[in-house]
Amino acid sequence: MTHTSTEENYIKAIYHLQLSRDSVSTNLLSAEMNTKPASVTDMLKKLRTKRIVHYQRYKGFSLTEAGNRKALSIIRKHRLWEYFLSSKLGFEWDEVHSMAEELEHISSDELITRLDNFLGNPAFDPHGDPIPDHRGKIRVIKQVSLTEVPVKKTATVSSVKNQSPEMLELLNHFHIALGTKLKLNRRFEFDGSVEIKIDKYPATIISEQVALNINCTL
């Protein structure tokens, strides 16, 4: 079964929305896709005939097992291309997303298999998000946001939620990158900000808003 780029974008969007909530609505999906609810309804009917979603009118929808597999294969492509763009072509993480949005629709499976091997079968993309393997298996790691790291504990930065240029700029300023080890010196209860220490750099204070977007492993 083949899918158009548009279908693939819907499948991916449904997958991502399903991750963070237990039911996805037509309105929510239309907002995510920057289309109107009526367009979503049309696409749901199409994806139902292709057995990608379970869907009954007015009753909601969700990805089928096949839909889930398809979503994971698209995400795999997206993140492998992001890794390529970052590690081989030297792009910053805030630049890779839009290019990967196009590259993820290139159809050849053999291409992805070889790209994966060429890159050394990476498990995480430049934002720290896990890359599904060829079976769709995702390596899950236990992560906590920087706000949840206990005082005096050392943690390793593993991914970031907000991947905007502005966030990248901030993290560069703080000398924080994926894999950076940091110690949480103290937490300020007044505003939720945290003081961190990264080896040779002086300790700095990070606002709660930023800290919430930084994931760590302990």
Q: In what order do the strands lie in the sheet with 181-187?
A: 144-145, 214-217, 154-160, 181-187, 194-197, 204-206
Nearer CB in complex with a copy of itself: 89/218: 89
162 binds DNA (CB under 7 A): no
Q: Which listed option, a copy of itself, DNA, none, makes contact with residue 136 (CB within 5 to 8 Å by class)?
A: none
Work out whether 103 is an interface residue with a copy of itself (CB under 8 A): yes
5-20 vs 37-49: helix axis angle to the nearest 10? 100
Dig out the tokens for 117 from the structure.
């091997």
| Interface with a copy of itself (CB under 8 A), residue from 19, 89, 151, 203 | 89
Other Cβ atoms closer than 10 A to 47: 23
When the beta carbons of 26 and 147 are compared against DNA, the nearer one is 26
Q: Which positions ≥6 away from 161 have C-beta within 8 Å?
A: 212, 213, 214, 215
Check binding of 120 to a copy of itself (CB under 8 A).
Answer: no
* Residue 6: contacted member of DNA, a copy of itself, none (CB under 5 to 8 Å, by partner type): DNA
The residue to which tokens 């795999």 are assigned: 76
Cβ of residue 3: shortest distance to DNA, in angstroms?
A: 8
Of 72, 95, 68, residue with least CA distance to 82: 95
Is residue 156 a contact residue for DNA (CB under 7 A)?
no
Q: Which of 21, 22, 49, 59 binds DNA (CB under 7 A)?
A: 59
Residue list 13-52, contact with DNA (CB under 7 A): 25-28, 33-46
Residue 38 touching a copy of itself (CB under 8 A): no
End-to-end CA distance of the chain: 42
CB 191 within 8 A of CB 207: yes
State the residues that interact with DNA by CB under 7 A. 4, 6-7, 25-28, 33-46, 55, 57-60
State the residues that interact with a copy of itself by CB under 8 A. 85, 88-91, 95, 98-99, 102-103, 105-108, 110-111, 114-115, 118
